[in-house]
Amino acid sequence: MKLVVLACLAAVAVAAPQLQDVRPIVQVLRDERQDDGNGYFNYALEADNGIYMAAAGTPGSEGQTNIEGTYRLPDGVGGFQDIVFIANENGFQPQSSLLPTPHPLPDHVVELLRIAEEQRASGITFDETGRRLTR
């Protein structure tokens, strides 16, 4: 029994990770931050692996903070892609070629949307069951 316990302890000791030269995986090349305390701020962060982020914030009209900025991420094929964004009272709005786009609408849907817009412009309304309300 003692031999089994000793063998288990030896197996755990052998399987334990060996600490070698421990150093950060990523070095920070630039870390700049400025916060005026009144809703205005700027920051920029850049790492040696190509990752980058910069943003500027301003107070918004509805009590929120509006932020405009960009960040760069690896694209998985050896390059990097930038994502430009705005975050304000309308939410987070990123723009990048990496982001998926919706399929184009079929022609009949485009036509139905045109008709609906025409009806709205001329004052035509419908109730919750789809019946036209006359004025």
Q: What is the DSSP string of the chain?
A: -HHHHHHHHHHHHHHSPPP-----SS-EEEEEEEE-SSS-EEEEEEETTS-EEEEEEEE-TTSPEEEEEEEEEE-SSS-EEEEEEEEETTEEEEE-TTS--PPPPPHHHHHHHHHHHHHHHTT-EE-TTSPEEP-
Both 50 and 32 in one domain: the answer is: yes
Both 89 and 34 in one domain: the answer is: yes
Range of the domain at 121: 102-135
Both 58 and 112 in one domain: the answer is: no
Position 26 scores a pLDDT of: 85
- Mean pLDDT lowest among 9-18, 84-93, 98-107: 9-18
Both 111 and 53 in one domain: the answer is: no
Both 81 and 134 in one domain: the answer is: no
- Residue 3 pLDDT class (50, 70, 90 cuts): confident
Q: Is pLDDT at 6 greater than 70 in this prediction?
A: no
Residue 128 belongs to a domain = yes
Residue 54 belongs to a domain = yes
